[in-house]
Amino acid sequence: MDQAVQHVAGEAKNAVEIVVHVSEDLGEEQRNLVVSALEKTDGIIGAEFCLLRNHLVLTKYNREIYSSHDVLKSFNSLNLKAKLIGPI
């Protein structure tokens, strides 16, 4: 997965990185809209789709504000079916 993931920009002392699987087959424009919407969410520091596996999203969040369950809710609020794969 190293070749597929670039680290999400933005560092926080309480940051946690997780990988989320998105079931929908999204085009590049849709993926960009998802990233933009997630990054506007308070508690999510950054999000980036994996380059070679574009159904996987590296998501960085502040664990003092958000939980992994909250991150999944953010994906669901965008009408996406998402599952937590695990931490980085």
For the chain, give the percent of residues with pLDDT over 90: 83
Domain regions of the chain by residue span: 15-87
Q: Which tens digits make up the pLDDT trace of 48-79? A: 999 999 999 999 999 999 999 999 999 999 99
CATH of range 15-87; options 3.90.1200.10, 3.40.50.12500, 3.30.70.100, 3.90.1150.110: 3.30.70.100
pLDDT of residue 5: 43
- On the question of pLDDT at 84 being above 80, the answer is yes
Q: At CB < 8 A and 24+ separation, what contacts does 27-30 make?
A: none
pLDDT of residue 12: 56
What is the pLDDT confidence band of residue 88, given thresholds at 50, 70 and 90?
confident
Give the pair of three-digit tokens for residue 61: 């969040």
Check: CB of residue 55 under 8 Å from CB of residue 31: no
Find the helix packing angle between 28-39 and 68-77, rounded to 10°. Answer: 130
Element (H, E) at 58: strand 56-62
